[in-house]
Each structure stands twice: as C-alpha cells, then as structure tokens.
C-alpha cells in the first residue's frame, strides 16, 4: 500500500466522513483515476521522436501510454485522419496514488514561483485538471534525452459529486491551492 493510500485510509476518510456528515466511510469521496495526456501532433511523422515521447511518459507513469490518433482530418493543423496526435495514460489504484504522491510532494514544489493551483480548474463534477508547459519538472525526465520541451495535462478524476467535496479531498491529500486575496 502506498504512503498516500495509508494517509487516505487512516486520516482522511474519518475526517471527511465527520466533516460531510456521512454515515458510511464508503461514501467518502476518493480518487478513481489519474489521466496523463501529452500532445505529439508536431512529431507525428518522426518515429524516433514518438519513441522518445513514449519512453518519457512511461517513465513518469510506470506504465505504457496509449497512442491516440486523430478521428478526423483538420487541414488547418496539417492533421490527417488516423495520424498520431497524443499519448494518454490512465492510472488507477496504487499507480495513481504513487503518481499523486510524487506530484504533490516532489513536482509541484519544483515549479518556479509556485503559489498554489487555481481553484477554477474543477469541471463541476469533482474532477481537476492541471496543465504543465514543460515536462522537465518531473525528476524522471532527463533533460539530455528529450528532443524538445513538451506540455502535458494531468486530470485527477474523483467520485465526488461536486467540486467542494473534491477540493476538500485533494487539500487533505496534499494538493496546495492558491490563497484567496482579501483585496478581491
């Protein structure tokens, strides 16, 4: 069992059960999966670049990502139907918890001028998406071995039915949100 999972089971579940006045610990919100997306549309024709991108995403997540292909052609972006446009990796269970533990405790503190994540990034159904402009903030990525700096999107999917409960869950797990300004 991962460190974050132990914290969830022993500390977070009882605290949120009491806070939300839930009768069963099974009703406490939990993380169902973490989805990591990386766009690779510009290297679709370069096989070695695709292999490098596959390699660093699998190093980050601990599993092989799926190659996502375009569903339809878009002439303005030079994309043909069926050409590779991204990499997607869905993490569940222990892998998801290990990835979030690393994200909260190693990666986010390494972001320059980090003041917390925006609270507006919730989707209304308890899911939170974080966008990064460069993958080099992850400790597994070796700067010498990447062909170019790429962005990525990480979506944390919860079974919470609203954003307030999901935010409390993520705060208890260690995610840091921006402080509210009294001036605004």
Q: Is residue 22, in this structure, part of any structural domain at all?
A: no
Confidence band (pLDDT; 50, 70, 90) for 184?
Answer: very low
Note the pLDDT of residue 58.
86
SS3 assignment, position 89 = strand
Q: Is residue 80, in this structure, part of any structural domain at all?
A: yes
Residue 62: pLDDT over 50: yes
d(CA 50, CA 40): 7
DSSP E strands: which ranges in 70-151? Answer: 84-91, 128-132
Q: Is residue 23, in this structure, part of any structural domain at all?
A: no
Domain count of the chain?
Answer: 1
The pTM of the full predicted model, rounded to 2 decimals, is: 0.86
pLDDT tens-digit series, residues 30-57 = 999 999 998 886 665 667 777 777 888 8
Residue 135 tokens read as 């993958």
Q: Residue 120, exposed/middle/buried by CB under 10 A (0-12, 13-18, 19+)? A: exposed
pLDDT tens-digit series, residues 79-137 = 778 777 888 999 999 999 999 998 888 888 877 778 888 888 888 888 999 988 877 77
Q: Is residue 182, in this structure, part of any structural domain at all?
A: no
Residue 12 tokens read as 């977070």
Residue 139 tokens read as 């400790």
CATH number where 43 lies: 3.30.1440.10
Note the pLDDT of residue 129.
92
Residue 182: pLDDT over 50: no
């Amino acid at each position: 069992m991962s460190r974050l999972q132990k914290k969830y089971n022993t500390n977070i579940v009882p605290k949120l059960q009491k806070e939300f006045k839930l009768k069963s610990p099974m009703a406490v919100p939990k993380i169902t999966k973490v989805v990591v997306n990386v766009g690779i549309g510009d290297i679709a024709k370069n096989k070695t670049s695709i292999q490098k991108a596959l390699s660093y995403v699998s190093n980050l997540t601990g599993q092989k990502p799926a190659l996502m292909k375009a569903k339809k052609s878009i002439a303005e972006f030079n994309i043909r139907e069926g050409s590779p446009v991204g990499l997607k990796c869905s993490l569940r269970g222990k892998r998801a918890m290990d990835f979030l533990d690393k994200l909260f405790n190693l990666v986010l503190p390494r972001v320059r001028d980090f003041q917390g994540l925006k609270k507006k990034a919730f989707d209304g159904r308890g899911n939170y998406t974080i966008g990064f402009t460069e993958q080099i903030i992850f400790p597994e990525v070796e700067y010498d071995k990447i062909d170019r700096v790429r962005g990525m999107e990480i979506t944390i999917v919860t079974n919470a039915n609203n954003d307030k409960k999901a935010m409390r869950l993520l705060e208890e797990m260690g995610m840091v949100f921006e402080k509210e300004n009294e001036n605004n």
